[in-house]
Chain A
């Protein structure tokens, strides 16, 4: 892991001039990049994630047809040159729906992860920094959340709030923070006792300053790694909710929803469910490999 306040770096920086201090920081990032590129599957993951991101951003340009236009005469029609993936059960172009579907997957993944990281870092930092009874209570809640079958929780919450894009993001974000809290708590527990925090406290820094200037920057590495490794899981959860009819409302194109449609017609038009599931699998795999690569680059201690 990259320690911004490693004791050795402090000694070096004290002697070094300003220009070498910046080049040192650049070389640290450069070394992380070198470690990252050495793991080929991680690079492949990065490329695929970037491609899917571009597809999501430019979906309106890339999609050959409207994702919601219905052609009743073409129900379940197989692939042709003009429609490489064919039509779905009501006669909509599957490729166009697939391309637009990437938007939902990416939007949910990014926003839900953002919410989960914010909650997890806040709770983990509080528990680790304050310790004692606060830590005991927060850690029990974290344990309970981690032990509980998360899909059951999501289903119950969506049932209450009603299925919609915003609610799916909210519900996943507010239940997926436990692993962040646990990792951040453990990091803060060990950071809290280190010299640079002691030094900061000795110079009269407030708790708020210690947390924001000294603790949070040092947990960024592990949190980024964990977030990348967890995105895949969030994409699967979002698709699972849509698949169960508790996600984004039709006719909005969404991979999980396309699978649910296809399931009902699987004995008549089996080809409908192949492409959306493959897209979910590719996206999840790409994020997982990218996460593995980032772990090697940013957090070498965790390597197996």
Chain B
């Protein structure tokens, strides 16, 4: 077990190192120079440009910048935003993170709360009206682009009905629409998974045994079938972290929420190296940790899996 954990952690570290190196190289090869962006149309002398470069360490060779950057990252020092002159990237991330975390937790809770019961019912009563409805909903949920669903939600709930704010985060009600949109695709995928999982578990011997010894159907389904059917769904939940984070970028941009995703797109427009690198790395770390945690949780809850 510990050997397995160590191996997975080592692999995870390798993936993060790969991502870190890739983001560093990609962004350093950018044709657009951050100094040009910073200076804009203003008249500057070459000496002033050199001064700025020296101040930010941009005059040193790329491998020196790379090693310094790696060392800083490892120590949790994300550097300073060159473009937004002087604000530490760590501070920017810390300000944006709560918005993104709240949004993702809300979407996760909502999607699980809907997908698990609907998936169970659809799995038990396959080819019923509810199952059919669930299938149509799931097919649409995957095909509808989240940015369009967001815009439609804004038109309906903000422009026409005026129940909720269209953009921004002036009160907690600003979270409702973005979280609902973010939950849509997740719910569709989870419902499909849960349905398939329940349907396949119902054919197992232990379900037949439960019925044969006269257990009430509810006990058979809830205590025996559902508990086993949840296992693969837990896995998918962990692996879908990357999708949820991608969705966050879109949703935060549409609804103008000051989260990590919005910070990323804004930083890209401004060619703000430090911030883009830090966010890419942060997201990679989150995804890798989520995947490892999923594997371990899976092994813990399912005694049939022996690792090591």
A complexed with B: yes
Name B166's contact: one of A147, A246, A267 (CB within 8 Å): A267
Q: Number of contacts between A and B (CB, 8 Å)?
A: 130
* Given A156-B276, A159-B276, A288-B139; A259-B151 close (CB under 8 Å): yes
Nearest CB of chain B from residue A88's CB, rounded to whole Å = 14
A99 at the interface (CB under 8 A from B): no
In the complex, which residues of chain B have a beta carbon less than 8 angstroms from the beta carbon of A232?
142-143
Partner of B246, one of A152, A263, A270: A152
Are A273 and B271 touching (Cβ within 8 A)? no
> Chain B residues with Cβ under 8 A from A160's Cβ?
26-27, 29-31
A residues near B96, Cβ cutoff 8 Å: none
A10: B residues at CB distance < 8 A: none
Interfacial chain A residues near B14, Cβ < 8 Å: 140
Residue of B nearest to A289 (CB): B139
* B219 proximal to A (CB < 8 A): no
Q: Please, which residues of chain A bring their CB within 8 A of the CB of B26?
A: 156-157, 160
For the complex, is A130 an interface residue (Cβ under 8 Å from B)?
no
B15 touches A147 (CB 8 A): yes
Produce 1/0 per residue, B235-258, CB < 8 A to A: 000010011011001100110000
Asked if A266 and B154 sit within 8 Å, CB to CB, the answer is yes
Q: Given the complex of chains A and B, what is the CA–CA distance between A109 and B27 in angstroms?
A: 26
Whether A151 touches B27, Cβ cut-off 8 Å, given contacts A144-B15, A270-B155, is: no
Q: Which of B23, B155, B158 contacts A273 (CB 8 A)?
A: B155
Contact A152 B27, CB 8 Å, known A140-B11, A159-B268, A281-B144:
no
B83 partner residues in chain A, CB cutoff 8 A: none
Whether B264 contacts A285 by the Cβ 8 Å rule is: no
Residue of A nearest to B282 (CB): A152
Interface string of A15-30 (1 = CB under 8 A from B): 0000000000000000
Q: Chain A contacts of B152 at CB under 8 A? A: 273-274, 277
B147 touching A151 by the CB < 8 A rule? Answer: no
Whether A152 and B249, one on each chain, are in contact in the complex, defined by CB atoms closer than 8 angstroms, is: yes
Task: Tell me if A177 is interfacial: C-beta within 8 Å of chain B.
Answer: no
CA distance A262 to B143 in the complex (A): 20
Cross-interface CB contact of B15 among A140, A153, A243, A259, cutoff 8 Å? A140
Residue interface mask A257-288, B partner, CB < 8 A = 1? 00100110011001001101110110011001
Q: Using Cβ atoms and an 8 Å threshold, which residues of chain A touch B29?
A: 160
A152 close to B283 (CB less than 8 A): yes
Interface string of B6-44 (1 = CB under 8 A from A): 000001001100110001001101111000000000000
Give the residues in chain B near A277, CB-CB below 8 Å: 144-145, 147-148, 151-152
With CB as the reference atom, state the residue of chain B lying closest to A262: B151
**Which size class do B's interface residues fall under?**
35 or more
Q: A288 to B242, Cβ gap below 8 A?
A: no
Pick out which of these stretches binds chain A: B61-69, B110-118, B284-292. Answer: B284-292
Query: Could you give, for residues 32-71 of chain A, a 1 whenever the CB lies within 8 Å of some chain B CB and a 0 otherwise?
Result: 0000000000000000000000000000000000000000
* B299 contact set on A, CB distance < 8 A: none
Report chain A residues within 8 Å CB of B265. Answer: 155, 244
Give the distance in Å from the alpha carbon of A267 to the alpha carbon of B158 in the complex. 9
Which A residues touch B280, using CB under 8 A? 152-153, 156
Cα A143 to Cα B18 in complex, Å, equals 12
Q: Does B105 contact A (CB under 8 A)?
A: no
User: Known interface pairs A149-B242, A152-B249. Does A259 touch B268 (Cβ–Cβ under 8 Å)?
Assistant: no
Please report the C-alpha to C-alpha distance between residue A263 and residue B160 in the assembled complex, in whole angstroms: 15
Within 8 A of A (CB), among B223-244: 239, 242-243
Q: Name which residue of chain B comes closest to A271, CB basis.
A: B155
Q: Is the CB of B19 within 8 A of A285?
A: no
Min distance, Cβ A211 to any Cβ of chain B, angstroms: 27
Which listed residue (B15, B140, B148) contacts A285, Cβ 8 A? B140
- Picked from A151, A236, A259, A273, the residue with its CB within 8 Å of the CB of B249 is A151
Which residues of A are found within 8 Å of B283, using beta-carbon distances?
148-149, 152
Write out the residue numbers on chain B whose beta carbons fall within 8 Å of the beta carbon of A143: 15
CB contact under 8 A between A245 and B147, given known A149-B245, A288-B142: no
> Complex Cα distance A191/B95, Å?
53
Shortest CB–CB separation between residue B171 and chain A, in angstroms? 18
Q: At the interface, yes or no: A239 with Cβ under 8 Å from chain B?
A: yes
Q: Is A304 an interface residue (CB 8 A)?
A: yes
| B242 surroundings in chain A (CB, below 8 A) | 147-150
Say which residue of B139, B254, B287 sits within 8 Å of A147 (CB atoms).
B287
Q: Is B269 an interface residue (CB 8 A)?
A: yes
User: Which residues of the partner chain A approach B284 to less than 8 Å between Cβ atoms?
Assistant: 148
Which chain B residues border A246 with CB–CB below 8 Å?
268
Whether A155 contacts B264 by the Cβ 8 Å rule is yes
| Any B CB within 8 A of the CB of A240 | yes
CB<8 Å pairs between A and B, sample of 17: A147-B242, A147-B291, A149-B249, A150-B242, A151-B250, A160-B31, A162-B31, A259-B148, A259-B151, A274-B155, A277-B144, A277-B151, A280-B145, A284-B143, A284-B145, A289-B139, A304-B196
Other than the given A281-B145, A284-B143, 8 more pairs (CB < 8 A) read A147-B15, A162-B31, A240-B147, A244-B249, A280-B148, A281-B140, A281-B143, A288-B143
Closest 9 pairs (CB-CB, A-B): A277-B148, A151-B246, A285-B143, A159-B268, A149-B246, A284-B143, A270-B155, A149-B245, A149-B242
Q: Chain A interface (Cβ within 8 Å of chain B)? A: 140-141, 143-144, 147-153, 155-160, 162, 232, 236, 239-240, 243-246, 256, 259, 262-263, 266-267, 270, 273-274, 276-278, 280-281, 284-285, 288-289, 304
